[in-house]
Amino acid sequence: MSATGTLAGSGRESESAPYSVPRGPIWLLRDIWAEGTRHLRATIRNPDLLVFAALQPIMFVVLFVYVFGGAIQIPGYRTYQQFVVPGIFAQTVVFGSAFTGIGIAEDMQKGFIDRLRSLPMYQPAVLIGRTWSDLLRNAFTFVIMMVVGLIVGFRLEGGIINSLLATLLLLAFAFAFSWIQAWIGLSVKSVEAANSAGFIWMFPMTFVSSAFVSTESMPRWLAKAAEVNPFTIVTNAVRALYNGHPVGNDVWWSILWALGLTAVFSALSFRKFQNTSK
């Protein structure tokens, strides 16, 4: 539109913009897209954040493989890499979801969420845009991890299709955990609190699991806890897929967990968001 055209229609144009708020699924998607690109743009602008997010898991891969690799033999796996790398993948994407809570808490603390809540946009887009952009960020971290894994000797022994399925399953789990973190971020309202509340429970969850050692080596009671841990279930599923082992019901259970967590925590988060009053 030319400048003159806009000037001439200045009154009308400006009026029609805010007054007939368009509704419908297309606009919901547009709002999600607008909010998602806000974060992605910022992420791309500060790539050091991405690099640091990947640095810790890279260190994990290297340490586990070279420090423990020689000492730990897991029956049924050619090398310790084949066993531990999928576990570290799972831990990395789940830890990566903590950014969702921290980001939301930051937006709340700075009053940006209030600004968004005062706009005629689709309100759920604020949270959905955030979780989807964090999923993409997580996917990027995953790619870096995969490259490092391949470098240290991890191989996709289950073939491409199974590996793709495993990756999708991991990302679905990361997405579900983003919703848990979203709910935490909305509940705590400060970045520092989101940081501690977001991470603290993920350490026992990821270590009391089959991610790094087989649960058989644990004391009985701990092994029991590890076996019911959904993190163990998803780790077993993706590990079996990457290695081409029989997967049993683990895949179905992990899909159910991912769906269930997403459903419950997105509902909780939407409700919390509606009732936020800082």
Sign of CA dihedral 238, 239, 242, 248: negative
Helix (H, G, I), strand (E, B) or coil at 14: helix
Q: Which residue has the tokens 């000037």?
A: 7
- Which CB sits closer to another protein, 34 or 151? 34
Among 59, 67, 114, 252, binds another protein (CB under 8 A): 114
Among 70, 118, 228, 246, binds another protein (CB under 8 A): 118
Among 111, 159, 244, 248, binds another protein (CB under 8 A): 111
Q: Does 51 help bind another protein (rule: CB under 8 A)?
A: no
Q: How far is CA 104 from the centre of its chain?
A: 14
Among 29, 42, 164, 222, binds another protein (CB under 8 A): 42
Q: What are phi and psi for residue 2, nearest 5 degrees?
A: -75, 160
Near another protein by CB under 8 A, which window of 1-9, 56-64, 181-189, 252-260?
A: 1-9
3-state helix, strand, coil in the chain (%, to 5): 80, 0, 20
Which amino acid does the sequence have at 250?
D
**Those residues with Cβ within 8 angstroms of residue 191's Cβ, 6 or more apart along the chain or in another chain:** 102, 105, 106, 109
> Angle 47-63/124-151 helices, nearest 10 degrees?
40
Among 51, 78, 116, 149, binds another protein (CB under 8 A): 116
Q: How many Cα atoms within 13 Å fall on the side-chain side of residue 169? A: 31
Q: Does 155 help bind another protein (rule: CB under 8 A)?
A: no
- Which CB sits closer to another protein, 18 or 219? 18
End-to-end CA distance of the chain: give it in Å, rounded. 41
> Cα separations (Å) of 131 from 73, 84, 119?
38, 27, 20
Q: Does 32 help bind another protein (rule: CB under 8 A)?
A: no
Q: Does 196 help bind another protein (rule: CB under 8 A)?
A: no
Q: Does 19 help bind another protein (rule: CB under 8 A)?
A: yes
Among 47, 120, 204, 248, binds another protein (CB under 8 A): 120
Q: Does 34 help bind another protein (rule: CB under 8 A)?
A: yes
Q: Does 189 help bind another protein (rule: CB under 8 A)?
A: no
Q: Does 38 help bind another protein (rule: CB under 8 A)?
A: yes
- Which CB sits closer to another protein, 117 or 155? 117
Instruction: Round to whole Å and give the CA distance between 132 and 215.
Output: 33
- Which CB sits closer to another protein, 1 or 160? 1
Near another protein by CB under 8 A, which window of 104-112, 138-146, 152-160, 233-241?
A: 104-112
The string of DSSP codes covering 63-97 is: HIIIIITTT---TT-SSHHHHHHHHHHHHHHHHHT
Q: Does 30 help bind another protein (rule: CB under 8 A)?
A: yes
Binding site residues, another protein, CB under 8 A: 1, 3, 6-8, 10-11, 13-15, 17-19, 21-22, 27, 30-31, 34, 38, 41-42, 45-46, 110-112, 114-121, 277
